[in-house]
Chains A and B, each alone.
Chain A
Amino acid sequence: MLFSSTQERIGEQTQYVAIINYEVSESFVQLIDNSGSLKVVNINMPPDESIRNGTVAVVLEIPKDFDQRIKNEQLVNITIYYDASSRTSTIAYSKIMQVLGMYRSDVVDNRLESREIDPKILQPLRVFAENVATEDEVSGYMLSLILPPLLAIIVATGGMNAAIDLTVGEKERHTLEALLVTATSRRDLITGKFLAVVTTTLLSIAFIMLSLSGSVGYLSRLQIQQMEIYLTLQTSIIVFLILTLMAIMIAALGMAIASFAKSFKEANNYLTPMLFIIVILSFGSYGISIDDVGIIPFLIPILNVTLVIQEVLVNNFNAIHMLVTISSTLLVSMIMIIIASWIFHKESVLFRA
């Protein structure tokens, strides 16, 4: 976002250009000067030094017989000096290339016309592309490529630390025993911990959704963007609800796995492979086209969530897919909650030496 904003600002600024042998072609100097945001200046240092110290963004070197060669229809070599590591210089370079491209085409047109040949002869085909997608659909498609795996990974990592801290963390701090002898039942304790993990995960989702909405909104206003992208409130809410389901599953899974561990370190060792699996499943949606997808992928946890989010983002809502995803995610969540609860009642696991 910051990059685009900077680029936009630089694009609007005037860049200084030096032309070696500028005195040989006043028309060429005028061509550059009149292009809008480029200004020709003189330099008294070598091109590379002038660019590096910021005197100019780009230096052009034209031959001393420039006008003559153009007139005689001979090849003209132009050298452009620029700094590929400088954003100002690369933007100026792009502008120069655009101006030269137009100039080249004008020269060709003039030469053809002088021979009484219609310049259109060089354009045997004119292609018109008509996009039938609405702006919402286009922006949805763009988001559907980036967002689902990203969100799935954020959900997976968002509550993981809380899951570890609230299970194995209690063991490591030696607070577990004190908790277990309070009037609160183990079922209530595990429910409370589970809800805390889910809340932490949901908070991280909410923050990322807010920041994405802000970023997407901002990016869509930048002229530098080739395509406008939107994240509507309605879409955001649906995506958030789908992710809530996933958060429930991940919280239960994280707690069940972390409860087995004796220490934070051990819990991390157990949960890292789980994260790998989640990442693989999240990016699995890249290999599946939602236009002709069957029902099977929607039975696979995490993959189904990313696919459903894709469908929502491209406005291709499918109730059956949604229902299967909700059912399978809730089923896995319930199994994981039962396992986590069983572990919390299992003294050999809780007090594993």
Chain B
Amino acid sequence: MIIIQNLTKLFGKFKAVDSINIEINKGEIFGLLGLNGAGKTTTQRMVSTVFLPSKGDIIVNGNDVRTEPAKVRKSIGFLPTEVGLYDRLTANEVVKYFGILNDLDEQEIDERIKKLFEKLALTEYANKRCSKLSRGNKQKVAIARAIIHEPPVFIFDEPTSGLDVLSSRAVLDFTKQCKAEGKTILYSSHLMNEAEEICDRIGIIHNGKILKTGNVKELVKEYGKLENVFISSVRGEKS
């Protein structure tokens, strides 16, 4: 579903992402794990067509990000790290606006909003201004906004960052539910326990390079827990 080949991103002379290769299968949650500044967000931004790769290729749902960015955008739902909502609009209005930007007709938007808000337990907040929502509910609105066009691929950039335990749980459960519905998810995080819980496979990214990829269950079996995999990969030694 997502093929990343030899992907490199340069900002001037700085190599933010250095020749990475990842393949993510349909219906899989792939965790991109790394410290802050490791290159997770830059990679996800390139997959989402926000950034153009300096070198290498990205194919999303059969579409090349360079030659068919519009088709790629229709195939993905991108949830950036920052929630970024319009404070003066209600939750309903924000999602509706993005539905329009994603070429959906009004009736379709209303039906999807109803369904999504029920799923995300947002119905009672639908007509509240975003400025009045809790951080957790804002994140749920951001998720609804990202996937209103029902894309097959989700790209979630640290979706539980800054959320309380209950809100994090809701986001994680929702992500699992999406996987169960056959969605392909590229999920970035620096929280190992979270990745261990929801990801099928992971890739550890550090200084723009993928240090290790593998099946979560197999890695946990080998290293005891995902945190050990991460630490040993980053330190360059096996624990």
Contact = CB atoms under 8 A, between A and B. Distances in A.
Interface of A: 173-185, 347-348, 351
A347 B46 CA distance: 11
Contacts of B87: 173
Contact of A181 (B50, B52, B103): B50
B183 to A, nearest CB: 16
B80 A174 contact: yes
Contact of B11 (A175, A179, A348): A348
Interface string B75-104: 010101011111100000000001001110
B201 interface: no
B49 interface: yes
Given A173-B84, A173-B86, A347-B52, A178 B70 contact: no
A182 B102 contact: yes
A177 B83 contact: no
Nearest to A350: B50
A182 B48 CA distance: 10
8 contacts: A173-B84, A173-B85, A173-B86, A176-B84, A177-B82, A178-B145, A180-B50, A182-B102
Contacts of B190: none
B142 interface: yes
B74 interface: yes
Nearest to B51: A347
B86 A182 contact: no
Identify which of A173, A181, A182, A351 gathers the most chain B CB atoms within 10 Å of its CB.
Answer: A181
Given A175-B86, A178-B142, A347 B50 contact: yes
Contacts of B45: 177
B78 A185 contact: no
A182 B100 CA distance: 9
A348 B50 CA distance: 11
B51 A182 contact: no
B80 A184 contact: no
A177 B86 contact: no
Identify which of B45, B74, B84, B98 gathers the most chain A CB atoms within 10 Å of its CB.
Answer: B84
Given A174-B80, A175-B84, A175-B85, A181 B51 contact: no
A92 B233 CA distance: 94
A183 B77 CA distance: 10
Contacts of A178: 78, 80, 84, 98, 142, 145-146
A139 B197 CA distance: 79
A28 B169 CA distance: 97
Contacts of B84: 173-178
B101 A183 contact: yes
A181 B76 contact: yes
B209 interface: no
A76 B183 CA distance: 105
Contact of A183 (B50, B52, B102, B146): B102
